[in-house]
Amino acid sequence: MIFSYHWLQSFFSKKLPKPEKLAEVLTMHSFETTCQYQNNLSNFFEKKGKREVLLDIDVLPNRGSDCFSHLGIAREISAVLNFPLNFSWEKSISFKEDPQLKTKDFIEVKVKSREDCLRYTGRIIFNIKVKPSPRWLREKLIACGLRPINNIVDIANYVMLEIGQPLHAFDFEKIEENKKGKKEIIVRRAKKGEKIVTLDGEEYELDENILIIADPKEPLAIAGIKGGKKAEIDEKTKTVILESANFSPTVIRQGSRHIDLKTDASWRFEHGLDPNLTELAINRAVSLIQKVAGGKIAQGLVDFYPQKIFPKKIILNLNEVEELLGAKISEKKVKDIFQRLEFKISKPAFASKSFQEKILEVEIPTFRQDLNLPEDLIEEIGRIYGFEKIPPNFPFASLIPPKRNFEVFWEGMAKDILKETGLVEVYNYSFIGEKEKNLFRFKEIIELENPTSADFKYLRPSLLPNLLKNILKNQRFFQQIKIFELGKIFRESKDKTKIEEKKMLSGAITGEAFFEVKGVVDFLFQRLGIPGVWYDQFQPTPEDTEVSLWHPTRCAEIKVDHQEIGFLGEISPNILESLKIKGKVVAFDIDFEKLSRLASEETVYQPISPYPAVIRDISILLPRKVLVEEVLNEIERNGGRLIADVDLFDIYEGEELPEGTKNLSFHIVYQDQDRPLSSEEVNEVHEKIIKAIEEKGWEVRK
């Protein structure tokens, strides 16, 4: 919020520090503050040599109740710098009431719902003259970003900027009378369908969520938010009803959101003002009106204030100050700080004498609505004293060794392993758009209630769509792209009552890379210490939503024993074409939570055999669709423990071979840990394997 430096100066007889210095002091003790020099403004006012200096003060939300005003900031400055305030209500409020005119003879205020309106104060001023405001008044409004309108409206705004209480002025003549011949002001919730045209000419349709000020016939204003056109002050206005009320922060906030209208007034009410302020503000305003616009002020105040607010008392244990802040601050210093903040201090009567010494009873002025707990007072001590002065001091604590977080540990391990294979880690948004949803035909997908844009409309149900987008973007600059991501995906649970949130580990490599990706996945499982990984040809069922994502004949389920851990395969050419990705993409998509549960840090060391290995080759002609896995199983089953390794070194399909067949060639490595193998022994096992293969109907080529 913008504050005028010169206006703030007017609260002090002592000269304030230079604006930059003041801004720094406020930043360190109250609110973050920056200086702005307004050259344009001084041109506008043709001031010579005197520039208006504005302070942009980021008032914290708990202090909206008192610091959205120059008086509030002046109080802060006074407390922080220990400068006495040259301000008193007596000085600010001086006006003459006309004893002939009694306010209560002219208006009647009816508050229908007490929770919505804590206080309603009104006054009437007769015979005023509406005209443009004097220069000093206009200058201050413009400096603070408000547009001058006329003297009455400007004074209402001025008082709001000065002391933080929003005021509203109605034209007395334009308000309907009740049966008693008095102007009647009703504070009530709007009825559904009721309409109001506000001062700026906008029409709003209202309902029960909106609190309004009405006369017996229709709405006059949206309470605490904006005035209505009906009772607007204009040049012909002679008599003014001034409203100074305290509305419930909740109702103003809800109403303001409901009709999407935020104003200087609504913003202040939302933060909860001191109900005792209404009277001071209205008296300050009539004092100024009388000075600037003349007129007769009717005697007395209409004041609806059923539950008066009194100052709170907080008991503070001085030991706790040191315990919480970790700095020794003397009782004298604490009392001094409280006095600067206008708190009243006493020793509570109830406590025993020794106990009493450490305890203060602190009375909080009602303008400090934000203070309720001893901790709140300790914060006040800390910030006025200066958090900066608190010395660093390592805690005394038991030595509890930090627990290892296994999920985080495996996450780091998996990322390192993939990095070793040459993959680059990416982070993508947790969202996908409508386009992706349709392209990948995602079903159990979570939609945002208030998305920021169509591209971020759903929570990602898979990491792959965004990885594919990464590939597209990088294809302009890189030949081969190898990327991975570890992140959370979101899906509707089967019974649609919960949202499943789980970590996935997915990656992609461009090009004819099925076996490269498979190699990466193998390496990952091996390094994570997970044995028993195998790849199962994927048999889609009709309701599988994944179907469209993968190439139907080039995709496998990654399994460990009987558990499905993820997918591996080429991305369907249709998808790639729709995304305009050139060439092929092979991806893996692994359930990271399952993976981390299986992972183990134990590496079992295999002793290196001192005895030589015997290698025999075998070449087998068999139908094309027989899986290598099957052949390997056959070899290993028959070879038993003498087989150290089987290595497929050639696959051949070609014209020389009968149609629909392929030729596989293996090195079979025979070795024993405990003794050298004789050639007879090896021959015997090798023959057994050949026999078994021939029994399967496959041809062993010799």
Q: Which of residues 238-257 bind other proteins (CB under 8 A)?
A: 249-250, 253-254
Q: Which amino acid is at 14?
A: K
Decide: is 310 part of the binding site for other proteins (CB under 8 A): no
Quickly tell me which residue has 């919505």 as its tokens. 116
Please, what is the minimum distance in Å from the beta carbon of residue 67 to other proteins? 11
Please, what is the minimum distance in Å from the beta carbon of residue 674 to other proteins? 41
CB 156 within 8 A of CB 285: yes
Quickly tell me which residue has 């904006």 as its tokens. 226
CB 37 within 8 A of CB 51: yes
Please, what is the minimum distance in Å from the beta carbon of residue 597 to other proteins? 15
Binding residue (CB under 8 A) for other proteins from 344, 419, 443, 696: 419
Q: Residues 481 to 500: which contact other proteins by CB under 8 A?
A: 481-483, 487-488, 490, 496-497, 499
Decide: is 81 part of the binding site for other proteins (CB under 8 A): no
Decide: is 323 part of the binding site for other proteins (CB under 8 A): yes
At 564, phi and psi to the nearest 5? Answer: -85, 125
Binding residue (CB under 8 A) for other proteins from 447, 564, 629, 647: 447
Number of residues that bind other proteins (CB under 8 A): 94
Residue 492: partners with Cβ closer than 8 Å, 6 or more residues away? 444, 445, 446, 498, 499, 500
CB 559 within 8 A of CB 536: yes
CB 33 within 8 A of CB 92: no
Instruction: Kindly write down the DSSP assignment for every residue of 280-340, as one continuous string.
Output: HHHHHHHHHHHHHH--EEEES-EEE-SS----EEEEEEHHHHHHHH-S---HHHHHHHHHH
Separation CA 421–CA 564 (nearest Å):
23
Binding residue (CB under 8 A) for other proteins from 2, 28, 35, 615: 28
Q: What is the dihedral of CA 622, 626, 629, 630, to 10 degrees?
A: -80
The 10 Å CB-count burial string (b at 16+, else e) for 689-702 is bbebbeeeebeeee
CB 121 within 8 A of CB 302: yes
Binding residue (CB under 8 A) for other proteins from 61, 181, 542, 660: 61
Please, what is the minimum distance in Å from the beta carbon of residue 701 to other proteins? 40
Decide: is 578 part of the binding site for other proteins (CB under 8 A): no
Q: Which is nearer to other proteins, 143 or 378 (CB)?
A: 378
Write out the two tokens for 524. 């990952």
Compute the chain's Rg from CA coordinates. Answer: 40
Q: Residues 85 to 104: which contact other proteins by CB under 8 A?
A: none
Q: Are strands 499-510 and 482-492 parallel, antiparallel or unpaired?
A: antiparallel
> 89: helix, coil or strand?
helix
Separation CA 274–CA 306 (nearest Å):
14
Please, what is the minimum distance in Å from the beta carbon of residue 177 to other proteins? 36
Separation CA 567–CA 546 (nearest Å):
10
Q: Residues 350 to 379: which contact other proteins by CB under 8 A?
A: 373, 375-376, 378-379
Choose the stretch contacting other proteins; rule: CB under 8 A; options: 61-69, 235-243, 273-281, 540-548. Answer: 61-69
Binding residue (CB under 8 A) for other proteins from 13, 21, 47, 60: 60
DSSP class of residue 523 equals: H
Q: Which is nearer to other proteins, 54 or 282 (CB)?
A: 54
Whole-number Cα distances in Å, 16 to 8, 47, 54:
9, 21, 14
Binding residue (CB under 8 A) for other proteins from 9, 38, 62, 548: 62
Q: Which is nearer to other proteins, 182 or 258 (CB)?
A: 258
Q: Write each residue from 389 to 418 as x if it is in contact with other proteins (CB under 8 A), else as -, in one continuous string.
A: -xxxxxxxxxxxxxxxx-xx---x--xx-x
Binding residue (CB under 8 A) for other proteins from 13, 18, 21, 32: 32
514-527 and 406-420 helices, crossing angle to 10°:
140
Quickly tell me which residue has 């399952």 as its tokens. 594
Choose the stretch contacting other proteins; rule: CB under 8 A; options: 106-114, 226-234, 387-395, 643-651. Answer: 387-395
Please, what is the minimum distance in Å from the beta carbon of residue 677 to other proteins? 41
Decide: is 330 part of the binding site for other proteins (CB under 8 A): no
Q: Write each residue from 635 to 674 as x if it is in contact with other proteins (CB under 8 A), else as -, in one continuous string.
A: ----------------------------------------
Decide: is 383 part of the binding site for other proteins (CB under 8 A): yes
> 103: helix, coil or strand?
helix
Q: Which of 170, 308, 304, 297 is nearest to 243 (CA)?
A: 170
Binding residue (CB under 8 A) for other proteins from 96, 473, 624, 701: 473
Choose the stretch contacting other proteins; rule: CB under 8 A; options: 56-64, 93-101, 234-242, 522-530. Answer: 56-64
Please, what is the minimum distance in Å from the beta carbon of residue 473 to other proteins? 6
Decide: is 115 part of the binding site for other proteins (CB under 8 A): no
Choose the stretch contacting other proteins; rule: CB under 8 A; options: 54-62, 127-135, 151-159, 535-543. Answer: 54-62
CB 123 within 8 A of CB 298: yes
At 470, phi and psi to the nearest 5? Answer: -60, -40
Please, what is the minimum distance in Å from the beta carbon of residue 526 to other proteins? 17
Please, what is the minimum distance in Å from the beta carbon of residue 453 to other proteins? 8
Work out the end-to-end distance of the chain between its first and last CA atoms, rounded to an integer number of angstroms: 91
Decide: is 580 part of the binding site for other proteins (CB under 8 A): no
Decide: is 448 part of the binding site for other proteins (CB under 8 A): yes
Please, what is the minimum distance in Å from the beta carbon of residue 393 to other proteins? 4
Decide: is 235 part of the binding site for other proteins (CB under 8 A): no
DSSP class of residue 107 equals: E
Please, what is the minimum distance in Å from the beta carbon of residue 477 to other proteins? 6
Choose the stretch contacting other proteins; rule: CB under 8 A; options: 358-366, 384-392, 521-529, 548-556. Answer: 384-392
Binding residue (CB under 8 A) for other proteins from 355, 478, 515, 534: 478
Choose the stretch contacting other proteins; rule: CB under 8 A; options: 102-110, 176-184, 306-314, 388-396. Answer: 388-396
Separation CA 363–CA 377 (nearest Å):
11
Where does residue 517 rank: exposed (0-12), middle (13-18), buried (19+ CB within 10 A)? Answer: buried
Whole-number Cα distances in Å, 95 to 60, 238, 280, 284, 569:
35, 18, 13, 9, 86
Q: Residues 595 to 634: which contact other proteins by CB under 8 A?
A: none
Decide: is 315 part of the binding site for other proteins (CB under 8 A): no
Q: Which is nearer to other proteins, 408 or 657 (CB)?
A: 408
Q: Which is nearer to other proteins, 452 or 606 (CB)?
A: 452
Please, what is the minimum distance in Å from the beta carbon of residue 524 to other proteins? 12
Whole-number Cα distances in Å, 193 to 113, 190, 199, 218, 453:
19, 8, 19, 12, 32
Please, what is the minimum distance in Å from the beta carbon of residue 493 to other proteins? 10
Binding residue (CB under 8 A) for other proteins from 39, 100, 330, 450: 450
70-81 and 331-340 helices, crossing angle to 10°:
160
Please, what is the minimum distance in Å from the beta carbon of residue 472 to other proteins? 10
Q: Residues 212 to 231: which contact other proteins by CB under 8 A?
A: none
Please, what is the minimum distance in Å from the beta carbon of residue 489 to other proteins? 10
